[in-house]
Structure 1
Amino acid sequence: MVAVYAFNRAIVRRPARSAVLGLRSVDRGVPDVDALGEEHAAYIAALETLGVTVEVLPPLEEFPDSVFVEDPALVFSEGAILLRPGAPSRIGETAEIAPALRAAFGDVLDLPAPGFADGGDVLVMPEAVLIGLSARTDATGAADLVGRLERLGRRGRVVTPPAGVLHLKTGCSLLDDETMLATPVMAAAGLFPGFRIVETAPGEEAAANALRVNDAVLLGAGFPRTAERLTDLDFTVVTVKIDEVMKLDAGLSCMSLRWWAEA
């Protein structure tokens, strides 16, 4: 069986100049769009180096947050699900990414109204797909998403992250079939029974949104103590600068839709 972190295809979208107007729950400053583009290009290069063929979609100026393609859709080897992002300014992104998904997948499902679900609240685990309730993912959307996952042969499980967590994956990421990286707050929430949990180093909570891709863990640059914890556990760590990305409440998982496509 192919591991849930084994990928050979990905879809990304280049950041728009309008990204300076992107959503920010915490004001870390206005992103430098040119630097954001450089970070995005380095991210694509990292995926390609790890064996992923990347399809790059053009920027969408009318949608400042559209570089974060993970929120309007989910993809699996079995098919794709078009989501309904919880932020009103992002709801139109689903229709924009739909053609690329219909070209790549034979089975593309729609999440029905009126519920909402963001891909940033969805964590694919070996035995289940976790769906975290948040300000962007409501109970109706989560329940409907469980039903759509069943149609693709996947089991969904709805969880409630700690208060104050923007997205489920803001505070955690899968490192391998038995190990999670998580902030101390997320680690204490009891959402991952049976998993070994590696906590982010003090002051490096933003490192929790890492991304396991094939044989390596992509980690934001600037989190040296968390990187050391992972290398001490024999993980291969590849660091990617995401200073501008983080100004938009985002991280490494947000910028791509990834799946394993059978030859």
Structure 2
Amino acid sequence: MNNTHEFRRAITRKPGRSIVDGLRAEDIGMPDLGRMLEDHAAYVAALRSTGAEVVELPALETYPDSVFVEDTMLCLPKLAIAMRPGAPTRQGEVAEIRPAIEAFYGENIREITAPGTIEGGDILVTGREILVGLSARTNSEGVSQLSDIVSEYGYSLRLVETPEGVLHFKTDCGLIDPETILSTRRLAASGCFEGYRLLCTPDEEEAASNCIRFNNLVIMAAGFPRTAEMLDAEGHEVVQINNSECARLDGGMSCLSLRF
């Protein structure tokens, strides 16, 4: 599992006009579609700059949150697993993205079924295991089903607790390399990353923790200079993408792509 940051492909979906109706934990303002499209283009360009193939799917107006493709699938080297989002308004997104996944995985796709719910934002694949956080969107039945599936392929899955008031497990953490995790202090304090090398976000920069390592790059939200400086000092090539509009919908860097 040590190639957990090396990817040949990614799938993204453009945000649509309906994004203004997207789910949000609290209303901190209406997202600006024009700015979001600019930011999304910069994100896709960063992925492509590593030599990866990026499939950019068209906007899906029926589903306001469909830009956040990560929640719909878990893409592993040998199989993809269709998630079952805990937000009922998002469950139809899975069937919409499935053809794009089938183009690469063929019949090697499994699925989570009712009453299980699970979203990709609660799943962190490290160099040694799959960590899954229980949340308002991911229940124990969904995790149990996922555990049964991945165990057939030799993966070890460990259930962890998502901090109260946090939407997804990966809202508070991101993989920097197979053994290094960027985490908020509140999540690190739970002890769920024992045995890993931990980097903690500075105070008031907690939102920077939702980053992704994609080949040679660490892609993070802009506006968190101390976190960027820390990662740079660690020797990483950091790309900062404006996330102001996605943040209004509780979204971050990992949410915007499926990477495999």
Q: Deviations along 1:75-114, whole A, 9 cap, x unmatched?
A: 1110110010000110110111111111110301111211
Alignment of 1:56 with 2:59, yes or no, is no
Distance 1:243 1:16 in 2: 16
Distance 2:178 2:128 in 1: 9
Distance 2:182 2:58 in 1: 32
Distance 2:40 2:85 in 1: 22
Conserved? CA contact 2:13–2:256, under 8 Å: yes
Alignment of 1:9 with 2:1, yes or no, is no
Within 5 Å, give how 1:29-178 maps onto structure 2.
29-106=29-106, 107-178=108-179
**Aligned-pair distance for 1:26?**
2.4
Distance 2:131 2:179 in 1: 15
What residue number does 1:190 align with?
191
2:249 is matched by which residue type in structure 1?
L
Alignment of 1:24 with 2:24, yes or no, is yes
2:250 is matched by which residue type in structure 1?
D
Structure 1 counterpart SS, 2:69: coil
Conserved? CA contact 1:161–1:189, under 8 Å: no
**Aligned-pair distance for 1:161?**
2.0
**Aligned-pair distance for 1:2?**
5.6
Structure 2 counterpart SS, 1:70: helix
Conserved? CA contact 2:128–2:178, under 8 Å: no
Structure 2 counterpart SS, 1:181: strand
**Aligned length, in residue pairs:** 259
**Aligned-pair distance for 1:154?**
2.2
Conserved? CA contact 2:126–2:179, under 8 Å: no
> Which deviates the most, 145-154 or 117-126?
145-154
Conserved? CA contact 2:12–2:256, under 8 Å: yes
Conserved? CA contact 1:129–1:156, under 8 Å: yes
Distance 2:29 2:152 in 1: 42
Structure 1 counterpart SS, 2:198: strand
What residue ranges of structure 1 are gaps of 5+ in the alignment? none
Distance 2:141 2:259 in 1: 25
What residue number does 1:246 align with?
247
What TM-score, normalized by structure 2, do the two folds share?
0.97
> Which deviates the most, 65-74 or 225-234?
225-234
Q: Percent identity?
A: 49
What TM-score, normalized by structure 1, do the two folds share?
0.96
Distance 2:28 2:51 in 1: 33
Distance 1:95 1:238 in 2: 32
What residue ranges of structure 2 are gaps of 5+ in the alignment? none
Distance 2:129 2:207 in 1: 24
Q: Deviations along 1:3-61, whole A, 9 cap, x unmatched?
A: 10101101111111100000110222110011111111110000000221101111110
Conserved? CA contact 1:111–1:148, under 8 Å: no
